[in-house]
Structure 1
């Protein structure tokens, strides 16, 4: 299959591209910079220059492809409205190009905010609707195109897609521990995060592209619930720092913007996804990755 991938050089995207190529697919990757383009070309990927603000390039890539994987996101935490608007515009551009074709369109989503007091499941509808909502209401907007002949499939990622080289949420929590001299958790640390290794997340995306029916909600979550206190304890052990509770009122000051999320309850199961795709996670657990030192190498 000829596959167009946005975010092709990103954390999840680069692993997804590797998985696609290994499975025999042809890949065109959207590249914003010369460095990203060079990395993709070295893998044998066809490069299309552009970014999330270049909707013409996104439309061009989608039009020439037999399937689209949309993983790019601005992740601008200082201006979330801009990130949300770009996400919605990209989804609309891709959906409009694919309308009437029955081609697959796998797009990134998340498990946060799907359920209260329990682990989220694939049966939980995304509550975020409209351009002013988180991610610009992208999941529901993408599913609008199912009735227009698009095989839209949501890839809902765990709050941490972990592994060596990760610069995401866990890396930020480790950075806060280095800065403050303590490894903190919010409140009593009994809130849970779902987790998945990067390689397992990439495989979910590829399998969904190949076979998931239109309207499928896939959960890229290998571990349903990892207590945040356990995360802090593993980080504390790795950095030889004391482990402490951080008052919720002080979480943002202590952790930075990630403090808004580290105290949240974000567990999610993936039973339906495993059954549908025949997917069995094989990567290390989050705590195993932390204990193995995946987040402790200091880059000069």
Structure 2
């Protein structure tokens, strides 16, 4: 492994990382301290113009926390270790297995960017070791560790910019789209664009909401049959014709000549139809009334 370069090509990237540390650690009255002043302290430390202890004391006094300088110290110390991380013994046996990045690998990747910048990924991958290849290191940086990547909610302006970039591309390359966006990764751009298209399709396919139209009379409820009755009109009651009529048999008896104690049976065979005079045939009515004469 060659010696560490005399000039750190990734100074600006690590300062951006330090800026994000200051932003996340800002709290209380110390949040009003000039950010540019704190960044100048970081730059002096990374350039070996001041020691870590001096930078730490300044942060504790002016900012109230030395956490940002402590994180930068981890990167600086890792950049001084030229031996890469050994590759796992079973790495060649399971090439398709997902292996998550450890904290040491993340720190060493940041140290590689600090030494070689964010362009020479072959040298960075060789510096990191651990069986990590060039594509893995590049994707880890551009999608996760790069401090310029914004992870907040997309703004309407970003939506318009993303749609414009994609529409102007004959063949969509999400890496190219991410480069034009500047602050979003290729994965973010691809996923967010698919969400925008999905929302657009759902709005087109969904029916429009039902609104009340007060110029249209609502449907009337069903009316009762009595509503059609007009007392001024003649109304004829339908006649009832029984299906089966059985004439009543009433014997002719002179009740004046019958002794009071006589046991003379009188039977009246009635029609099984409804027992109303109006519903009987004339013959049945006449026979019924003759019983009382």
Same fold (TM > 0.5): no
By percentage of residues, which structure has more strand? 1
TM-score w.r.t. the length of structure 2 is 0.26
TM-score w.r.t. the length of structure 1 is 0.25
**Higher RCO structure (Cα 8 Å, ≥6 apart):** 1
By percentage of residues, which structure has more helix? 2
Query: Of the two, which has the highest radius of gyration?
Result: 2
